Amino acid sequence: MLLATFLFSLMNVCVKQVSHIPAVEIILFRSGISLLMSWVMLRRQQVSVWGTHYGLLLARGVAGAAALILFFITLQHIPLATAATIQYLSPIFTTILGVFIVKEKVKPWQWLCFLISFAGVLVIEGVDVRVSPLYLGLGVASAFFSGVAYNMIRKLNTREHPLVIVFYFPLVALPVSGLYSLFNWVQPQGLDWLYLVLVGVLTQLAQYYMTMSYQAEEIAKVANLNYIGIIYALFFGFIFFGEVFSLGSYVGMALVLLGVILNIQYKNRPARRQVQG
């Protein structure tokens, strides 16, 4: 999980390095590489790439594509660590949407966690002049669509091969990003090509190692390691882009992470009790 988080953070750096290229065009490269790698892996395992639950798979693909496009746009226009922090709202939206999509219950105490996280977002927007309401809103919308995508995955449960679920993201994103790029193409120059290829390769590797960690260990033990990504984001943002933050920004980031982590810990308590029992 530490390696997966590190690779995801490097991918974010690559996206920010090509901020002059439209986010949807970056998605085009990322989707093409992901589609090819997923197709090869599915063929090797002799699994049908199309699956059987087409509606849920397409919904997952659409939500995932929307989330990533909005996240890349946000990443290109606000500090790296801030964009990464806002994206961590996705577990909150996953829980809230789960009430309606997979009929899960939310305990009253969890709503306090949600309020803490959203208060952190408001603090960030209030103290950091580099974060406009527009891109803050797009970042929150990205986290929302990530929550939709995760709930689609939960509804699919074990009814589809994991790689089939992964495959449907580029299957949806590739034609959408291709059509947009056809009319809004910005020609990559020099190192741009390297960064664009790395976005696809690093994402695929990160997803692979993250899946391995979830398969090898209890989710409750490894999920919180994902939040090490904020440390990577702060470090890479300072090294590559000279990004520094005020004390108020750090307080806002801490509130977002505190609310998310408390919610996850609360949700995992019954699972830990069953394991101990």
Q: Note the pLDDT tens digit of each residue in 146-200.
A: 889 888 888 887 778 878 888 888 899 999 999 999 999 999 999 999 999 999 9
Written as one letter, the residue type at 16 is: K
Assess whether pLDDT exceeds 80 at residue 214.
Answer: no
The pLDDT of residue 75 is 93
More confident residue, 272 or 223: 223
Taking the CB of residue 215, how many other CB atoms lie within 10 A of it?
A: 8
Burial of 40 (C-beta count, 10 Å sphere; 0-12/13-18/19+): exposed
Residues 201/33, Cβ–Cβ less than 8 Å: yes
pLDDT band at 275 (very low <50, low <70, confident <90, very high): very low
User: Rg (Cα) of the chain, in Å, rounded?
Assistant: 18
pTM for this predicted structure: 0.85
Assess whether pLDDT exceeds 90 at residue 253.
Answer: yes
Q: How much of the chain is helix, strand and coil, in % rounded to 5?
A: 80, 0, 20
Residues 90/143, Cβ–Cβ less than 8 Å: yes
Give domain limits for the chain: 2-269
∠ CA 42-47-50, rounded to 5°: 90
Nearest to 95 by CA among 247, 265, 277: 265
Residues 98/104, Cβ–Cβ less than 8 Å: yes
